[in-house]
Amino acid sequence: VFGRSIFNNNNITFEPQLNIATPENYIFGPGDEIFIDVWGASEVHLRKVISPDGTIIVEGYGPIYLSGLTTKEAESRVKSNLSNIYSGLYSSETHVKLTLGEIRSIKVNVMGEVVAPGTYTLPSLASVFHALYSAGGVNDIGSLRSVKLYRGGKQIVDIDVYGYILEGKNDLNLNLRDGDVVVISPYKNLVEITGNVKRPMIYEMAGDETVEDVLN
């Protein structure tokens, strides 16, 4: 079946890239290590880990709550709080930069028609693709056309793997959060095409697709 082999190809890896600049939309949580650099009129380098209650403790100031904030929001909050210590932050003589150090782990459930359904501990930068890869990909009756992600009991997205394979759509690179559930349903339609085509195979077809779609 076209597409299923992508998850058992040893030449392809879906491990998340950890050695990257801190994404602006990254959501901080307990266990994340944060580097805070202050330079200009005042210079200091702080290395903190977000505690289970969602805060970091800054000497001379106290706790700053960062859990649940994006990188941009967290940097703004740190700057606002540290301005009580470093007055230069008001006049832009002093600058603050917040970056991510060691990242936390999250637990994600991968359910339904995958090779190895279960709960997986993944890096917090992991994507839906990484979760599917960790679970061995879809099984013999699993659908590649409908990968559902649930968060807090609500469906966040319904992803079509064929969109990634054929068109490079990056929906599957959506970052996961702790407690997310990825669900694979059984396939609905399989169509075999043989003869003078470049890829004579079996294809999984969505309900509204036509002969023209399978030929394409």
Task: For residue 184, give Cα distances in angstroms to 18, 37, 40, 166, 193.
Answer: 26, 43, 52, 20, 25
pLDDT at 41: 75
pLDDT at 90: 65
Task: Give the number of C-alpha atoms closer than 13 A to the C-alpha of residue 32, restricted to the C-beta side.
Answer: 30
Enter the tokens of residue 210. Answer: 């036509």
**How far from the centroid of its chain's Cα atoms is residue 99's Cα?**
18
pTM higher than 0.85? no
pLDDT at 5: 85
pLDDT at 166: 87
Q: Per residue of the chain (216 residues), what is the pLDDT tens digit?
A: 999 888 777 666 666 666 667 777 888 999 999 999 988 877 889 999 999 999 999 888 899 999 999 988 999 899 888 887 776 666 677 788 898 888 899 999 999 999 999 999 999 888 898 899 899 999 999 999 999 999 999 999 999 999 888 887 776 678 899 999 999 999 999 999 999 999 999 999 988 899 999 998
pLDDT at 147: 94
Query: In the 3-class helix/strand/coil scheme, how is the chain assigned residue by residue?
Result: CCCHHHHHCCCCCCCCCCCCCCCCCCECCCCCEEEEEEEECCCEEEEEECCCCCEEEECCCEEEECCCCEHHHHHHHHHHHHCCCCHHHCCCCEEEEEEECCCCEEEEEEEECECCCEEEEEECCCEHHHHHHHCCCECCCEEEEEEEEEECCEEEEEECHHHHHHHCCCHHHCECCCCCEEEEEECCCEEECCCCCCCCCEEECCCCCCHHHHHC
pLDDT at 14: 61
